[in-house]
Structure 1
Amino acid sequence: MKFRDGMWLTAEGMRVEYAEDVHDITQTEKGLSLLCPTRKIQRRGDTLNLSTLTIDIEAAYDGIISVETTHWDGAVRKGPHFDLFPGGQPNAEPKVVKSEKGTTLSSGSIAATIHPDEHTFDIKFHSADGSRYLTSLLGRSVGLAYSPAPSNPLQTGDMRDFKHYIFTQTGLSVGESVHGLGERFGAFNKVGQSVALWNADGGTSSDQAYKNVSFWLSSKGYGVFIDTPGRVELEIGSERCTRVQTSVEGQRLKWYIIYGPTPKDVLRRYSVLTGKPGKVPSWSFGLWLSTSFTTNYDEATVNSFLEGMKERDTQVDVFHYDCFWMKAFKWTDFVFDSDRFPDPKAQIARLKASGLVKKVCVWINPYIAQHGAAFKHATEKGYLLKRKNGDIWQWDLWQAGMGLVDFTNPEAVEWYVECLNGLFDKGVDCIKTDFGERVPTLDVQWFDKSVDPHKMHNYYAFLYNKVVYEALQKRYGDEEAVLFARSACAGTQRFPLVWGGDCESTPEAMAESVRGGLGLGLCGYSFWSNDIGGFEGYPAPWIYKRWVAFGLLCSHSRLHGSGSYRVPWTIDNDDKSEEGCSRTLSRWTALKARLMPYLFSQAAKAVNSGLPLSLRAMCVEFPEDPTSWYLDRQFMIGDSLLAAPVFEESGEVEFYLPRGKWTSFFTNEVREGPGWFKEEHGFGSLPLFVRENTVLVLGNPEARSAVYDYAQDVEVCLYQIREGASADLVDSNGEPLGSILVGSNGELQGKDLLKGIWTKGNNGRKVDELFFKTIKSL
């Protein structure tokens, strides 16, 4: 939303009024309240016939200050509201000091200072010790706007024909970059972009996003969380080049500024504010195989897939039944198609007993098709969203005559959970919660009449995933619940995990997916996946194999397509060579299994700190390196592994190594950064480097599943270590076992934790000589 036409003019059809003065500062229990007229008050008469804006600046938590701008305070505060501080709000200790520098409110490590000069609108945000400037609200940076512009103030007595907006503009420093705002597939640095936070089913190749998260991270050591689930419009250096403008329709706009100084500090505090990611079980890290979307399948098809994978030395830990486990025109009625699956409970039991798969997932959504029995029942009971005239809200987009589950109705929630429990009774272990983006805002009446339909649009994703996640927790335990969700908003990181939506089967789409995963990770999501090989279309064998390498280095890995299968032998006519799809998938699945001692211990750290496990943007680990804020084709896996996917058929790839010594995982060759490097890779490798001073514990080389004994028959690999380097060990249930520590003489401490026949490599791991032939430096 742009309110101006260049620097000098107001946008056509708009009336804009700015806070021009800080007329009065009142100290409150939590901070400061500023009375800000929209003209400079030079005499008493200036106080008449004008609008004012109230800016409440409050201490929320150590390192966090909230800023709320209000025009008309009598406006009803309709919900839904984000569930903030879900773990309990820590004590905030506001401190107000007046000096020649102005009036300063401190909240632990962050402070806001209001300029002391009369008729000067200037609010600076900085570290409490004064060592670090963050951003400012300067002149003409806070305001209200009408559209269309009223020609007479009397017209605002009836607001039905007007839209009213509140906006703020925080300053952008020279060289500052902005990141996050959910799973966005465009440029990683958002400066120069107009961004609308509005969930949409738009694929991965547009400016729409399935997961709009109202949080952004600055390269200057702070983040901003916008506290509304409604539509938010941002102009990030795109209306005024030196400012980030945030606007909402309504009478209030509230946001929190979160100080670091590092990205890890910002994300840790953000996770306290909006919720820490949930933990996920070890089995979920294994390979997931899907039937794909519109493919034709039955029990025999499923068995042939899993038996074919086993024959090709690839273990599937989770098998996923997509849409057509139910009959056409009846999604979602929670009833297996009896023609294809006459006894689903027995079939699922047979699958698990065979050892072909550990867990089973099924696809659902909150859209209830008219022709299924569920629709009739939900309609009679009042469980579906209604129009204002009492009709069930319906349309024919996606499913014929579909309705939408009204999760603001507690009885509808109970019914939906009963349906889920019916699936759990059949042996279903986890749920793919698809869709939830196309939520209507016009001519609808929610069961909870206190909610604003526009705010429900994005927030619906939170309610939907919360209901399913908590049902899984109740059945299987708090740390065994797993979703595979597509839609999200702020706070949904509490209900892992998510995947990246409908991408094409192209290298460009794989790069889009990388950018999406990086951006979402900077919004507090620890776990993320994508459709290996691409969803739409038919991947060429080389794309499939490059995507396999990338996908198996994400926290979670799933083979899934649209109208075609993603089992490897269908991609390349069952090429059985070492460079074929089947062997490539087998090698990368085995590698991820070997990495599980590292991945699962790193996952615990990520959850505790609100960090992405993988994809972790380079700037999280190397914020002092300016280049790290622009790297969108590589990522960290936890603290110590760096990966750069290959996007070229030739195998050529260019990547950046930050300062320090980096060891190739595949060859033990040591490179020193900072610098750019080029390599050429076969399908069995990509640039995967281990950070110096790393103790990397690799699991049993015979492991193929993600679940095994992570302390048995391991390889302890030392990479440019110094005294005190360590690695935490956990078991496959996530229980801490202890730490492996490098002592003063280079000897390992904590060896008693290791079982069986274990080995130690002082200069990296035992490598396959083949990689010296298939990896070339360019």
Structure 2
Amino acid sequence: MKFRDGMWLVAEGKRPEYAEDVYSITQHPAGNALSLLCPTKKILERFDSLNLPTLTIDIRAPFDGVISVETTHWLGALNPAPHFDLYPAGKPETSDAEIIQTDSAVTLKSGSISATVKTSDHDFDIRFHATDGSKELTSLLNRSVGFTYSPGPGNMMQTGDMSKFQHYVFTQTTLSVGESVHGLGERFGAFNKVGQAITLWNADGGTSSDQAYKNVPFWMSSRGYGIFIDTPDKVELEVGSERCCRVQTSIEGQRLKWYIIHGPTPKEVLQKYSILTGKPGKVPSWSHGLWLSTSFTTNYDEKTVNSFLEGMKARDIPVEVFHFDCFWLRAFHWCDFVFDSEMFPDPKAQIERLKASGLVKKVCVWINPYLSQACPVFKLAASKGYLLKRTNGDIFQWDMWQTGMGIVDFTNPEACEWFVSCLQSLFDKGVDAIKTDFGERIPSIDVEWFDSSLSPRKMHNYYAFLYNRVVYEALQDRFGENEAVLFARAATAGTQRFPLQWGGDCESTPEAIAESVRGGLSLGLCGYSFWSVDIGGFEGYPPPWIYKRWVAFGLLCSHSRLHGSNSFRVPWTVDNDDKTDQGCSKILAKWTALKARLMPYIFAQAQKAVEEGLPLSLRAMCLEFPDDPTSWFLDRQFMFGDSLLVAPIFEESGDVEFYLPKGRWTNFFTNKTKDGPGWFKEKHNFDTLPLYVRENTILVLGKWHETRTVYDYSKGVEVCLYQTSSGAKTTLVDAEGEEIGVLKVGADGHLVDQEFLDGAWHVTKNGRSTIKTGSKAIEG
């Protein structure tokens, strides 16, 4: 939202007031906080203090490396819940907070970051900088903190009735020359957000708009800091779009709080952000295998399901999870948790037979938090107070998605217990995972939650947290703390604790592949370790070349799911069962097998990503190469963990251009090397893409014939050394994620500490054994 018309004029219908002076500073006795009284004009004489608004700016040091800034106009205004669930693992002690005062400034030190407030000459000037003086991060300068009335009152007497006015609080942090901004949830537009106006408001808008399913009020700067806006309310940002040199953050209300988090590296920023909002949850090893799903096209009778899975097995494509989407339920009965009796006369027995056949190991079903009024359970839920109500006491209903649907009210503890009991009935029938669809279109007007103290507007985004937490904790209770898996579409800050998330409804186009890459990169920079995408695109009928390019990309995401709306995603239906080496079936088999061989690396990296609050894949290049300016603008490639570089291909021809940062990089398929930094062009068939291994990497691969996801990651493996030097190391974990050993390169260039390896394992130097791949279709 813009409050000015250019630099000189006020926007029509707005009346902004700015903090112009720091009149007084109160220091907290503990030495970890400052409170600034800031009038909206310079106070030069006593009379200036009358009939004058002030803003209170509280600057605190919550823990080392982080500073919070809270701006308030009227301190007496309520601040209703919900609030983000901060410090879920406990708040760290502030060991290095200090206030330093000079004749011209007061500085609050919080470990590696400090805030300095100028106290001379009535200038409004707050600088955030590295404590060691090495770098200024950002600042709040003239006309950068204030509030706005809309419409602008003729005089202040009119504000006695605030029902006629909207009131906003805003801050404008400075943008330095060349600074870029990233994150703010799963955003499908330009990776660098400078120049964009962004509204953080969950919406079901697909992947080709400025709307987002996952709005996260956190952004990362290329200057070594991040900012977390501490509210689930609607937040509007002008990222270099009202003033080119500032990021404006505004919210309707009387207060705005945010945290500035210093790295100095982007990895350290995310580590500290995960202390605030929570580390990602762990996922089991089986979840990294291939998931098969279809949506509106499938009749889920046993014969049809088995035909899909038998077809996959016949083509050497192992499926780890079969997902039953919407129509496991009866039409007009979404979501009553009752299997369609025509297709599932005995769902428990059918699922048992499916698993016993060996065609699939796990089963997932689709749910959403809405109840159609055609469901018999609707009346029960309504009578018990389990559904969201209007302010007049009616159940909130509309005919969006399902006829007369109501929305489960997760602020009611009894509604949560009932919902969990419904989930338990699914688990009893053999369901292992849950896809938590929807949860974005939550009304914020004319509604009252069971907990009536909650702000309906804040609940719009926060609903995603409550919904996914209920389901995730139910999965944990049944299957174990680290065995819970859900597939979530809606999210906000903190839902990284409930993995995993997928990118929503994308089209079957190369542009949608690129949109999905940008969405995954942006969400990863908000601390989400695990992310997936609908391979082939959700909407439309992918031609074979798009399907195959998407397969290559999708099998190098942390999780891989074939899913479509009105067309199947089993490969033989895409290209009339082309049986050649470049046909859809052979290509899917090759990429699925490659991911299985990579599992020793993938699962070890997954544990590391969770511990450090980092994305596993898609990992933005800037996280690994923050000192390379180019890395902050790369939105068509990514890192899978810290050692593999992936560049998806968007052209039918196989032409691709990608960037390699400084160092020696080895092509995974050919063992040929390239030296960065630099841009490179290649041409690929469908069974390869630019997959490069970083120098000084020990890459452990499963056995040649390995196609499973879960196996002994230390037995019969191939240990590949890529341009390694003394001290290079890698950690190996077992299929439960427990560390079993560390491989190191000694001073003589050979491996040490190998006693935990088992079976016929072997070492290859300067790459891997390529005898059995025979990939000769790469042109550079």
Is the pair's TM-score, using the shorter chain for normalization, greater than 0.5? yes
2:104 touches 2:120 (CA, 8 Å); kept in 1?
no
The alignment status of 1:515 with 2:508, answered yes or no, reads no
Which residue of 705, 717, 732 maps to 1:714? 717
The correspondence for 2:338, drawn from 326, 332, 335, is 335
* 3-state SS in 1 of match to 2:779: strand
Matched, 1:54 2:62: no
For residue 518 of structure 1, give the secondary structure of its aligned residue in structure 2: helix
Aligned AA (1:78): P
| Alpha-carbon spacing, 1:770–1:350, altered in 2? closer, same or farther (3 Å) | closer
Which residue matches 2:18? 18
- Cα distance, 1:35 vs. partner? 0.1
Q: Which one of the candidate residues 67, 70, 76 is aligned to 2:72?
A: 70
Deviations 1:247-296 (A, max 9, x none): 00000000000000000000000000100000000000000001323433
SS class of match (2:608): helix
Q: Which residue, 391, 401, 404 being the options, matches 1:388?
A: 391
Conserved? CA contact 2:297–2:568, under 8 Å: no
Identify the match of residue 216 of structure 2 among 207, 213, 216.
213
Residue 639 (structure 1) aligned with residue 667 (structure 2): no
Partners of 1:696 and 1:717 within 8 A in 2: yes
Displacement of 1:676: 0.2
Structure 1 residue 703, shift from structure 2 partner: 1.5
Contact 2:299 2:343 in 1 (8 A): no
Runs of 4+, deviation exceeding 2 Å: 291-297, 768-773
* Residues 420, 769 of structure 1: alpha-carbon distance in 2 compared, 3 angstrom cutoff: closer
Q: How far 1:591 sits from its partner (Å)?
A: 0.1
CA contact 2:202–2:211 (8 Å) conserved in 1: yes
- Partners of 1:284 and 1:382 lie apart in 2 by 36
Shift of 1:458: 0.2
Q: Is the 8 A contact 1:505 1:535 kept in 2?
A: yes
Structure 2: distance between partners of 1:248 and 1:339: 51
Q: In the alignment, is the contact (CA less than 8 A) between 1:182 and 1:213 conserved in 2? A: yes
Query: TM-score under structure 2 normalisation?
Result: 0.99
Q: What residue in structure 1 maps to residue 381 of structure 2?
A: 378
Q: Which of the residues 160, 165, 170 maps onto 2:163?
A: 160
Shift of 1:204: 0.0
- Check whether the contact 1:286–1:316 (CA below 8 A) recurs between aligned residues: yes
SS of the residue corresponding to residue 16 of structure 1 reads: strand
User: Are residues 1:670 and 2:659 paired?
Assistant: no
Equivalence for 1:695: 698
Match of 1:4? 4
Q: In structure 1, the residue corresponding to 2:666 is in which secondary structure?
A: strand
2:25 partner amino acid? I
Counterpart of 2:182 in structure 1: which amino acid?
H
Matches within 5 A, 1:601-640: 601-640=604-643
Is the partner of 1:238 in helix, strand or coil?
coil
Report the AA paired with residue 326 of structure 2: C
Q: Distance in 2 between matches of 1:711 and 1:99?
A: 60
Give yes or no for contact 1:3–1:14 (8 Å, CA) kept in 2.
yes
Q: Secondary structure at the match of 1:619?
A: helix
3-state SS in 1 of match to 2:149:
strand
In the alignment, what sits opposite 1:300?
303
Structure 2 contact 507–540 (Cα < 8 Å) conserved? yes
Query: Percent identity over the alignment?
Result: 72
Q: In 1, distance between residues paired with 2:771 and 2:220?
A: 41
Q: Distance in 1 between matches of 2:357 and 2:615?
A: 35
**Which residues of 2 match residues 198-237 of structure 1 at below 5 A?**
198-237=201-240
Deviates more, 1:522-531 or 1:755-764: 755-764
Deviation string 1:7-48 (CA, Å, 9 cap, x unpaired) is: 000000001100000000000243100000001001111101
Listed as ranges, the matches of 1:338-357 within 5 Å are: 338-357=341-360
Using the alignment, how far apart are the partners of 1:512 and 1:412 within structure 2?
A: 37
- In 2, are the aligned partners of 1:292 and 1:566 still within 8 Å (CA)? no
Paired letter, 1:22: V
Select 1:418's aligned residue among 418, 421, 434: 421
1:35 maps to 37
Residue by residue over 1:509-544, the C-alpha shift from the partner in whole angstroms, topping out at 9 and shown as x without a partner, is 000000000000000000000000000000000000
Name the CA distance, whole Å, in 2 between partners of 1:527 and 1:648.
26
Match of 2:216, SS state, is strand
CA deviation after TM superposition for structure 1 residue 240, in Å: 0.2
Structure 2: how far apart are the matches of 1:722 and 1:773?
29
Which amino acid is 1:150 matched to? Answer: P
Contact 1:666–1:768 (CA under 8 A) maintained in structure 2? no
- CA offsets per residue over residues 99-131 of structure 1, 9 Å max, x none? 245100011111000013131000000111111
Q: Deviations over 1:219-257 (max 9, x none)?
A: 000000000000000000000000000000000000000
Aligned-residue offset at 1:771: 5.0
CA distance in 2, matches of 1:652, 1:5: 45
TM-score, L = length of structure 1: 0.99
Unaligned runs of 5+ in 1: none
The superposition leaves residues 657-694 of structure 1 with CA deviations (integer Å, 9 ceiling, x where unpaired) of 00000000000000000000000001100000000000
Q: Does 1:83 align with 2:100?
A: no
Structure 1 residues 135-167: Cα deviation after superposition (integer angstroms, max 9, x where no partner): 000010000000011011111001001000000
1:230-249 map, 5 Å: 230-249=233-252
Aligned to 2:442: 439
- 8 Å CA contact 1:295, 1:562 repeated in 2: no
Q: Distance in 2 between matches of 1:65 and 1:293?
A: 49
How many residues were matched structurally? Answer: 777
Contact 1:700 1:710 in 2 (8 A): no
Aligned partners of 2:772 and 2:449: how far apart in 1?
64
2:15 is matched by which residue type in structure 1? R
Task: Give the residue type in structure 1 aligned to 2:484.
Answer: A
Write the mapping of 1:171-320 to structure 2, written as runs, cut at 5 A.
171-320=174-323
What aligned pairs does 1:94-133 form with structure 2 within 5 A after superposition?
94-100=97-103, 102-133=105-136
Shift in alpha-carbon separation, 1:748–1:770, aligned structure 2, 3 A? closer
- The whole-number CA distance in structure 2 between the counterparts of 1:530 and 1:64 is 33
Residue 668 of structure 1 aligns to a residue whose secondary structure is coil
* RMSD, aligned CA: 0.9
